[in-house]
Amino acid sequence: MADDKFPGWHGTTILAVRRGGEVVVAGDGQVSLGQTVIKGSARKVRRLSPGGRDVICGFAGSTADAFTLLERLEKKLEAMPGQLARACVELAKDWRMDKYLRNLEAMLIVTDGTDLLVITGAGDVLEPEHDIAAIGSGGNFALAAARGMMETDLGAEAIARKAMSIAADICVYTNGNLTVETIKQA
Contact by Cβ (8 Å): 74, 48:
yes
The pLDDT tens digits for 70-103 are 999 999 999 999 899 999 999 999 888 877 777 7
Q: Across residues 101-126, what is the average pLDDT?
A: 89
Give the pLDDT score at 161.
Answer: 98
Q: Across residues 108-130, what is the average pLDDT?
A: 93
The pLDDT tens digits for 32-42 are 888 889 999 99
Instruction: Give yes or no: 174 in active site.
Output: no
Q: How confident is the model at residue 5 (pLDDT cuts 50, 70, 90)?
A: very low
Specify the DSSP element, H or E, that contains 46: strand 45-48
Structural domains of the chain ordered from first start: 9-181 (3.60.20.10)
Percent of the chain scored above 90 by pLDDT? 67
The pLDDT tens digits for 37-68 are 999 999 999 999 876 689 999 999 888 888 88
Q: In the β-sheet with 106-111, what is the strand arrangement from edge to edge?
A: 45-48, 55-61, 106-111, 116-119, 125-126
Contact by Cβ (8 Å): 147, 131:
no
- In whole angstroms, what is the distance from residue 18 CA to residue 177 CA? 21
- DSSP assignment of 136-166: ETTHHHHHHHHHHHTTSS--HHHHHHHHHHH
Contact by Cβ (8 Å): 61, 106:
yes
- What's the maximum distance between 2 C-alpha atoms anywhere in the chain? 48
- Active-site pick, 12, 13, 111, 174: 12
Of 147 and 70, the structure prediction assigns the larger pLDDT to 147
Question: Above 60 in pLDDT, residue 6?
Answer: no
